[in-house]
Chains A and B, each alone.
Chain A
Amino acid sequence: MVIKNGSLLKDIYKHKLDYFFILPKFILFIIFIALPVVWAFFIAFQEYGIFETIWVGLTNFRDVLTGDLFWIALWNTFRYTLVVVPSQVIIALILASLINPLNRKAQIFFRGAYYLPTVTSVVVISMIWRWMYNSKGLINYLLSLLNIDAVNWLGSSTWALPAIILMSILTPPGVGVILYLASMGSIPESLYEAARIDGAGPITSWFKITLPLVKPTTLYLAILGTIGSFQVFAQVLLLTDGGPGYATTTLVHLIYNSAFRDFEFGFASAQAIVLFGIVLFFSFIQVKFLSSDVEY
């Protein structure tokens, strides 16, 4: 044992330069990620105050799970995710399938057009949509062309959440299109050739070849999308601030309010940890259901 330890220390000493190369990143990682993560779990069991911090055990978690607000926020977040993630994945899949056979120039053009809106800040995009959703805004004008009455998009509890959902769906899934295109580009042409010889039409070969072979991308996008959707925040803050009432309050909006408007740090941390658990759970479910026959 002693000899082994000695040789390990020697080994470490021999590689001291390697550790030096990691050191700056590792220090930053410890201070700004590892420490806060561990700390979050402590705070969740505390009543955090400026002058005094007391341990309260599971009280914060109990308050989170027995309060109405958490369940309202969870339900809103869930509805948002349930509509937005599948829509975005399907739209990305369809658009990529249509772009894939085009020539190189057209591919680059459409890929760029769909990705462009996603490089601008979600704050900017949300501000634009708030303006378009104004009662005298662009959307109601377009509806009036179809003889549909003006809708009070952001001010009514019926329409506020659908409005936020619609914005997310119509903001193109640029990342998805790019990843699907990359994935489709790596499918060998010979597979399609063989299918053609066997008499399969383009639709059949799409279902039998393309769809199964891009499944890893589908899984990746579904998980990434779910994690992102469960954290939806800026759209909510800028479009409705959770209102009217609590019609559009989402989990992260709730965490933000608890922590930085009410300064209930322990309560907010408990909410964040519950959110983490939910995200983990859904990622796990998706891996379970979608990856059963994925080959890497």
Chain B
Amino acid sequence: MNVKKIFLNIAKGTVYLILIGWAIIALMPLYWMFTTALQLPDEVFSMPPRFIPTVVKKFFPLLLEGKREEAIFLLTESLRSIRVLFTDIGLPRWFLNSVIVSVTATLGILVFDSMAGYVFAKKQFPGRDFLFWLMISTMMIPGQVTLVPMFILIGKLGLKNSLGAVIFPPLAMVFGVFLMRQFMKTIPSELIEAAKIDGASEFSIYWRVILPLSKPALATLGILTFMAVWNSFLWPLIVLNKDYLYTLPVGLKTLQDKNLVDYGLLMSGASIAAIPMIIVFLFFQKYFVKGLTLGSLKG
């Protein structure tokens, strides 16, 4: 009995060891990014590497010792590259562009996909299944196939070098229609019938019955879309060629091209791009999980 218990504890310990070990490997790059971002310029290449930046180690002790000026000097020196990013390099503008693009595309997707998802899930009309599967079947096609024609098209529409060039294409993504339809199918049709008997119009059924009941799906789709657009890289890289139009990933790429070995600066920029998504994830983790599991169900 006792031997069995010891054996069980060893097994449990091993499991935790593997899981924690892999979690450290998984999170190490992010930790190293933040560490490098906060290091002093001459500290970045120090050997052996310093896993805790001087500013973190010494700022509060210095304050407690009453060396206020020294502490503040240390802090400003450590945040030098962040200051450079905000003043000499147009990072705030890139950040703003990323926010504008992601928010607009997300709102658009939520409205259009919930409208389409609703009728695909709950209505009977000629051509419904054909239209649905026509849209869904294009999900298989790799994005690179449409890269060149899209580039020409954006030029012809006069959208090249405008934020519209990176807002409109994501609005056409069909994943959300699929996700909304999957979810709305689970809403009982009796609710719609009841609203109809009460004299509700089509639009108010959508607005007052369907949308409120679809909140979890809307939250999920919203977060997944926001993440996809915030992180999208190849397409913005192609259509945005003006410094003031860059989104964060494109801006970071040009930053790297111009400052190949200024890793303090590069990691500061990367940190600023990463932080919003990390915050969104920490707050809405359950919606990420739901989105992934819902999206993988079969139609």
- State the A residues within 8 Å of B (CB): 8, 11-12, 15, 17-19, 21-22, 24-26, 28-29, 31-37, 39-40, 43, 48, 91, 95, 98-99, 102, 108, 110-117, 119-125, 127-132, 134, 136, 138, 141, 170-172, 175, 178-179, 182, 217, 220, 227, 230-231, 233-234, 237-238, 252, 255-256, 259-260, 265, 268-269, 272-273, 275-276, 279-280, 283, 296
Q: Are A95 and B22 in contact (CB under 8 A)?
A: yes
B231 at the interface (CB under 8 A from A): yes
Chain A residues near B15 (CB-CB < 8 A): 98, 102
13 A-B Cβ contacts within 8 A? A31-B168, A34-B134, A36-B149, A37-B145, A98-B18, A111-B289, A119-B280, A119-B288, A122-B233, A256-B147, A259-B148, A260-B238, A268-B147
Q: Kindly provide the distance from the CB of A285 to the nearest chain B CB, expressed in whole angstroms.
A: 15
Q: Known: A24-B115, A115-B288. Is A128-B33 also a contact (CB below 8 A)?
A: yes
B91 at the interface (CB under 8 A from A): no
B47 at the interface (CB under 8 A from A): yes
Q: Mark B134-172, 1 if CB is under 8 A from A, else 0.
A: 110010111111111111110000000000000011011
Task: Kindly list the 9 A-B residue pairs having the minimum CB-CB distance in the complex, ordered from nearest.
Answer: A15-B125, A32-B172, A36-B146, A39-B149, A121-B231, A36-B149, A172-B26, A123-B249, A28-B172
B59 at the interface (CB under 8 A from A): no
Chain A residues near B186 (CB-CB < 8 A): none
B199 at the interface (CB under 8 A from A): no
Q: Are A279 and B142 in contact (CB under 8 A)?
A: yes
Which residues B253-282 have CB closer than 8 A to chain A?
253, 256, 261, 263, 266-267, 270, 273-274, 277-278, 280-282
B36 at the interface (CB under 8 A from A): yes
Chain B interfacial residues counted at CB < 8 A: 87
Q: Are A22 and B116 in contact (CB under 8 A)?
A: yes
Q: Are B168 and A265 in contact (CB under 8 A)?
A: no
Q: Mark B22-42, 1 if CB is under 8 A from A, else 0.
A: 110111011011001000000
Q: Are B231 and A231 in contact (CB under 8 A)?
A: no
B202 at the interface (CB under 8 A from A): yes
B66 at the interface (CB under 8 A from A): no
Chain A residues near B296 (CB-CB < 8 A): 179, 217, 220
Q: Are A26 and B270 in contact (CB under 8 A)?
A: no
Q: Known: A12-B125, A15-B123, A265-B152. Is A21-B249 also a contact (CB below 8 A)?
A: no
Q: Are A32 and B150 in contact (CB under 8 A)?
A: yes
For the complex with contacts A12-B125, A35-B149, A273-B145, 18 further pairs of A-B residues with Cβ separation under 8 Å are A25-B115, A32-B168, A33-B172, A112-B282, A116-B30, A121-B231, A121-B248, A127-B256, A127-B270, A130-B256, A131-B33, A131-B266, A141-B48, A175-B292, A178-B289, A220-B296, A231-B142, A279-B142
Q: Are A117 and B29 in contact (CB under 8 A)?
A: yes
Q: Are B140 and A117 in contact (CB under 8 A)?
A: no
Q: Are A18 and B125 in contact (CB under 8 A)?
A: yes
Q: Are B115 and A21 in contact (CB under 8 A)?
A: yes
Which of B113, B116, B147, B153 makes the CB contact (< 8 A) with A255?
A: B147
Chain B residues near A95 (CB-CB < 8 A): 19, 22
Chain B residues near A131 (CB-CB < 8 A): 32-33, 36, 263, 266-267
Which of A31, A36, A91, A114 is the most central at the interface, judged by chain B CB atoms within 10 Å of its CB?
A36
CA distance A33 to B137 in the complex (A): 11
Q: Known: A11-B125, A141-B47, A141-B49. Is A28-B30 also a contact (CB below 8 A)?
A: no
Nearest B residue to A251 via CB reads B144
Q: Are A121 and B147 in contact (CB under 8 A)?
A: no
Q: Known: A113-B27, A117-B30. Is A37-B138 also a contact (CB below 8 A)?
A: yes
Chain B residues near A259 (CB-CB < 8 A): 147-148, 151
Chain B residues near A234 (CB-CB < 8 A): 233-234, 249
Which of A12, A35, A276 makes the CB contact (< 8 A) with B142?
A: A276
B85 at the interface (CB under 8 A from A): no
Chain B residues near A113 (CB-CB < 8 A): 23, 26-27
B45 at the interface (CB under 8 A from A): yes
Chain B residues near A114 (CB-CB < 8 A): 22-23, 26
Q: Are A252 and B29 in contact (CB under 8 A)?
A: no
Chain A residues near B177 (CB-CB < 8 A): 25
Q: Kindly provide the distance from the CB of A287 to the nearest chain B CB, expressed in whole angstroms.
A: 12
B6 at the interface (CB under 8 A from A): no
CA distance A227 to B139 in the complex (A): 11
Chain A residues near B289 (CB-CB < 8 A): 111, 178, 182
Q: Kindly provide the distance from the CB of B212 to the nearest chain A CB, expressed in whole angstroms.
A: 17
Chain B residues near A8 (CB-CB < 8 A): 126
B119 at the interface (CB under 8 A from A): yes
CA distance A202 to B19 in the complex (A): 18
CA distance A217 to B292 in the complex (A): 12
Q: Kindly provide the distance from the CB of B275 to the nearest chain A CB, expressed in whole angstroms.
A: 9
Nearest B residue to A39 via CB reads B149
